[in-house]
Amino acid sequence: MEPVKFLPQRAPIEQFGAGGFRFAGMSHQGGLLVLPSGMRAWPIRSLAEMTADHFAPMIAEKDAIDFVLVGTGATMARLPAPVTAFLREQGLSFDAMATSPAIHIYNVTVVEGRRVAAAFLPVDRANV
């Protein structure tokens, strides 16, 4: 089953927290995957759930991506070793950090028109 596609383009994240994200006047609870083809639900809520398979939609579009940001939730954490190895094998440049700074960097790069993709785990605290 293909994940719900919210928007057929990338857009800045307007707000996040309380387990979700707001972008382009829309609201979503849970993880968010941002690809050149659009923004969609990402079916994980924590690093413990993350596998290389969760990045399959990103790999399908890797020729249109120069850099990947991964938001790891409320705190900075390393990606699971198999995920790191998989992304490197696929030739993707990436950086993992807490979701808050990842969103700030993403917003700047998307406004600049750069070829960025992102995978954001939600942050549960309110009013971030």
The Cα 22–Cα 32 span in angstroms is 10
pTM of this prediction? Answer: 0.91
Query: Strand order of the sheet with strand 5-7?
Result: 5-7, 38-42, 31-35, 116-120, 67-71, 94-97
> Which CATH fold would you assign to the domain 5-120?
Hypothetical Protein Mth938; Chain: A, (3.40.1230)
Q: Check if the beta carbon of residue 39 is closer than 8 Å to that of residue 32.
A: yes
Confidence of residue 128 (pLDDT cuts 50, 70, 90): very low
Mean pLDDT over the full length of the chain? 92
Residue pLDDT, tens place only, 41-93: 999 999 999 999 999 999 999 999 999 999 999 999 999 999 999 999 999 99
Confidence of residue 2 (pLDDT cuts 50, 70, 90): very low
Q: Check if the beta carbon of residue 46 is closer than 8 Å to that of residue 57.
A: no
What does the domain layout of the chain look like in residue ranges?
Answer: 5-120
